[in-house]
DNA sequence: TAGTATTATGTAAGCGCTTTCATGTATAGC
DNA sequence: GCTATACATGAAAGCGCTTACATAATACTA
């Protein structure tokens, strides 16, 4: 591998000049620039990014923490973030936090030790206090899908409450009055917000919430399976269920059918997230769109703007969900 | 951020000694080690990995190229690879090749410029020649899901042909004789192999293959949609279809149902890959398991063994598919 | 045309670590 | 007690860049 030194010798200029043409950050006479470029070409020179990083104390890498690497939700997120940074010549280092406090902290420590210039965090288990403390720690970061008071400009969130509201409102508008709710783990902020939205929609229609219509699931298929069983057992008159995410909706659909219900005639279901498989389901799932890709890109833009000084327009921090109507809701 | 120099001063030893206790690669007296460890602790010292990389010309990063970052298939792959490396203190840099020759080459160049110690490549569009040439280029790599003669020890592949064989054999054993086949793009090696397996199974049962029973799809949902339409149009007596991947199977299922067929009674379908959503489908999809996660881990182990000198058992390079029986095949 | 402002280039000191080589010190063998 | 051997440590030269700072070349002004 050729080094900058060899290039400078071949071009008959100093190291500094070569560095200037590489980084294009200081005036260089055209003739000189050409000589250098030729020399680089002749030697097949590529700058050593490690050395650049050490000298400039900038690694051009961004650390991403997500709960899981697989799963349709995070796939879309990572895909769009990677594309955004790649275009800017930056690269991403990815770590999985598995919604576990220890693992999330470990991931963050790992990425910091890797000299990331910034982090994008989708973390669920660590506390707000931890994040505030991390904020003192030198490595800047932006938070996805979570709102922390003192750093609101760096939180990119979905209006989860409105999403929960929309899901239930959609059912209400279709004539349903006895609506079950399968929630995510209530210690997760988005699960709580979605449920709050559900309650608000109910209240608007003057409907009382009953605990027999609520089931706290796990955001996984199994939660949907158990949730349907529990809800139907507690109250056989339910005509619709909102599931706080699509995976639980999938479990709910399967179980409801196994219990002999026709979908959507006997039971309407609405999901949340609009994950890629939701339209492979049968009936195709009516759900709430979560523009996760766009939110990831926005997080990336924050980093590009504030860390790498790219001039970009203002950053949108709150995204709005919307209903995706498909076939799993029956009008009564 | 404290540096090794400050640690050495506080501990009253030389830089070299501190380095030795960090890397644990040379004898250090216990008392000295303790002094150094204490000093590191007191200063909250963490080695600067960039500086380590520059000095040791080892970046401890592994580049991964996959076709897409989203999609269930690659999600599983990435997840397992990341976990395997993370355990070893290495990190992965991920790039998407999008099954496009230019983008794949660009991704590889990008990762090389990032000083990756090794690459794991799931590339489809670049030629074998290109890979052979890349092989001269200094950065070692292992290839996933593709066999290149001269580097067979570094190709981790699925026995795709056997998979295709199993899919069709399963149908045959269930009494089907008129079997449609929706293939992936035939320029992709795995698509071709799977089809060859299909043919072999047919031959074993003395059944002739007819071109009206073959449709070349795109490995995406749309391919399944169009494939079913085409196949049913050409030959209404078909009782079963094998789809060369699960996404096409999803499209096929939807379309078949829209055409008024009952599944699986009127039409049996088998997929390929056993992607996570295949059991969310209705009917739950019978498919061929592709142990992609295990294969990714094996690729990671190759790197750990050959690049980082970890002593690991031998590396398995060929994986076997197997039938996952669910509900989409009807016995006649 | 001298004097000043601007632009272009070079010099050299790091960035924070690893690693070779040399040196020093303890242990064993006789 | 003296040499041979292994073990422990230190000094210093990089790894391949960036970036003050200094200096040289050129352009502009009056």
The C-alpha atoms of residue A287 and residue A170 are separated, in whole angstroms, by 10
Q: Is residue A53 part of a domain?
A: no
A204 and A285 assigned to the same domain: yes
pLDDT at A144: 96
State the average pLDDT over residues A284-301.
96
| pLDDT at residue A118 tops 90 | yes
Same domain, A65 and A154: yes
B332 in any annotated domain: no
What's the CA gap between B332 and B330, in Å, rounded?
Answer: 6
Preferred mutation among A84, A275, A282 to probe B, highest tally of B CBs within 10 A: A282
List bases, strand D, within 7 Å of protein CB. Answer: 7-20
Q: Across chain B, what does the average pLDDT equal? A: 94
Rounded Cα–Cα distance for residues B244 and B289 (Å): 12
CATH number for the domain that contains residue A101: 3.40.50.2300
Chain C: bases < 7 Å from a protein Cβ: 7-20
> Which of A:241-260 have CB within 8 Å of B?
250, 253-254, 257
Residue A67's region, left for phi above 0, alpha for psi from -120 to 50, else beta, is alpha
Q: What are B186-216's pLDDT values in tens digits?
A: 998 899 999 999 999 999 999 998 999 999 9
A327, HSE (Cβ side, Cα atoms, 13 Å): 12
User: pLDDT at residue A315 above 90?
Assistant: no
Assess whether B16 (CB) lies less than 7 A from strand D: yes
Is residue A90 located within the same domain as residue A167? no
Using the C1' atom of nucleotide C9, identify the protein residue whose alpha carbon is closest: A17
Q: How far is it, in rounded angstroms, from Cα A227 to Cα B120?
A: 41
B153-168 per-position pLDDT tens digit = 999 999 999 999 999 9
- Taking only the tens place, the pLDDT of each residue in A8-34 is 999 999 999 999 999 998 889 999 999
| B328 in any annotated domain | no
Within a domain: residue A331?
no
Looking at the fold, whether B249 and B278 belong to one and the same domain comes out as yes
The mean pLDDT of A148-168, rounded to a whole number, is 95
CA distance A195 to chain B (A): 25
* Residues A256 and A316 occupy one common structural domain: no
Residue A118 to residue A138: CA distance in whole angstroms: 9
A332 occurs within a structural domain? no
pLDDT at B94 over 90: yes
Q: Which chain B residues contact residue A326 at CB under 8 A?
A: none
In chain A, what residues touch B138 (CB-CB under 8 Å)?
Answer: 1
Question: What average pLDDT does range B235-254 have in this prediction?
Answer: 94
Q: How far is the CA of A37 from the C1' of D25 (A)?
A: 22
Write the pLDDT tens digit of every residue in A71-105: 888 999 999 999 999 989 899 999 999 999 999 99
pLDDT for res B4: 94
What is the residue-wise DSSP string for B2-35?
A: --HHHHHHHHTS-HHHHHHHHHT-S---HHHHHH
pLDDT tens per residue, range A170-209: 999 999 999 999 999 999 889 999 999 999 999 999 999 8
The mean pLDDT value for B295-309 works out to: 94
Give the Cα separation of A88 and A261 in Å (integer).
Answer: 52
Nucleotide closest in space to B30 (CA vs C1')? D8
Q: Are residues B191 and B242 in the same domain?
A: yes
β pairing state of A179-183 and A214-216: parallel
Q: Are residues B284 and B165 located together in one domain of the fold?
A: yes
Same domain (yes/no): B243, B188: yes
Q: Provide the CATH number for the domain around residue A35.
A: 1.10.260.40
A224 and A208 both lie in a single domain:
yes
Whether A111 and A259 share a structural domain: no
Query: Does residue B238 surpass a pLDDT of 90?
Result: yes
Q: Is the pLDDT of residue B17 over 90?
A: yes
Of chain B, the percentage scoring pLDDT greater than 90 comes to 86
Same domain, B169 and B218: yes
Q: Sorting pLDDT into bands at 50, 70 and 90, what band is B138?
A: confident
Q: Euclidean distance between the first and final Cα of chain A, in Å?
A: 72
Is any Cβ of chain B less than 8 angstroms from the Cβ of A68?
A: yes
Is residue A300 situated within a structural domain?
Answer: yes
What average pLDDT does the segment B52-56 reach? 94
Helix A189-204 / helix A160-173 crossing angle, nearest 10 deg: 40
Q: Which residue of B has its CA nearest to A58?
A: B50
| Minimum CA–CA partner of B68 in chain A | A79
- Asked whether residue B98 carries a pLDDT value surpassing 90, the answer given is yes
State whether residue B56 sits within 8 Å of chain A by CB: no
Q: Inform me whether the pLDDT recorded for A41 exceeds 90.
A: yes
Residue B53 lies in a domain: no
Question: Which pLDDT belongs to residue A314?
Answer: 78
Does A79 sit within 8 Å of B96, measured CB to CB? yes
Q: For chain B, what is the domain count?
A: 3
Query: Which of B1, B78, B280 is nearest residue A250 as measured by Cβ atoms?
Result: B280
B74/B130 same-domain check: yes
Assigned domain for B54 exists: no
Q: How many CB pairs under 8 A join A and B?
A: 125
Of B72, B91, B280, the CB nearest to A93: B91
Whether residues A53 and B48 touch (CB distance < 8 A) is answered with: no
Domain that holds residue B30: 4-47
| pLDDT reported for residue A73 | 85
Q: Angle formed by the axes of helices B15-23 and B4-11, to 10°?
A: 110
pLDDT digits 0-9 by tens, A201-249:
999 999 998 999 999 999 999 999 999 999 999 988 999 999 999 999 9
């Amino acid at each position: 591998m050729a080094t900058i030194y060899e290039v400078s010798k071949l071009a008959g200029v100093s190291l500094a000049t070569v560095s200037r043409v590489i980084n294009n950050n200081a005036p260089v006479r055209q003739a000189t620039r050409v000589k250098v470029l030729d020399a680089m070409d002749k030697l097949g020179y590529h700058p050593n990014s490690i050395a650049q990083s050490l000298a400039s104390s900038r690694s051009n890498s961004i650390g991403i923490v997500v709960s899981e690497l697989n799963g349709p939700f995070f796939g879309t997120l990572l895909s769009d973030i990677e594309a955004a940074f790649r275009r800017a010549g930056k690269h991403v280092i990815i770590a999985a936090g598995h919604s576990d406090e220890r693992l999330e902290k470990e991931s963050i420590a790992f990425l910091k030790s890797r000299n990331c210039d910034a982090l994008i965090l989708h973390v669920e288990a660590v506390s707000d206090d931890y994040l505030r403390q991390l904020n003192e720690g030198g490595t800047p970061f932006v938070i996805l899908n979570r709102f922390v008071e003192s750093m609101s400009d760096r939180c990119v969130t979905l209006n989860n409450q409105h999403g929960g509201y929309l899901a239930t409102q959609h059912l209400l508008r279709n004539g349903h009055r006895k609506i079950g709710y399968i929630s995510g783990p209530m210690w997760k902020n988005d699960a709580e917000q979605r449920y709050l939205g559900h309650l608000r929609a109910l209240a608007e229609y003057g409907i009382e919430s009953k605990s027999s219509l609520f089931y706290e699931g796990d955001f996984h298929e199994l939660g949907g399976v158990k949730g349907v069983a529990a809800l139907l057992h507690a109250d056989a008159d339910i005509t619709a269920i909102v599931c706080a995410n699509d995976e639980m909706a999938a479990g709910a659909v399967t179980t409801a059918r196994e219990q002999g219900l026709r979908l959507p005639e006997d039971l309407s279901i609405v999901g949340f997230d609009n994950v890629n498989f939701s339209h492979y389901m049968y009936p195709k799932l009516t759900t709430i769109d979560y523009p996760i890709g766009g939110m990831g890109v926005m997080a990336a833009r924050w980093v590009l703007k504030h860390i790498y000084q790219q001039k970009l327009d203002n950053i949108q921090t709150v995204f709005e969900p919307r209903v995706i109507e498909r076939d799993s809701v029956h009008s009564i």
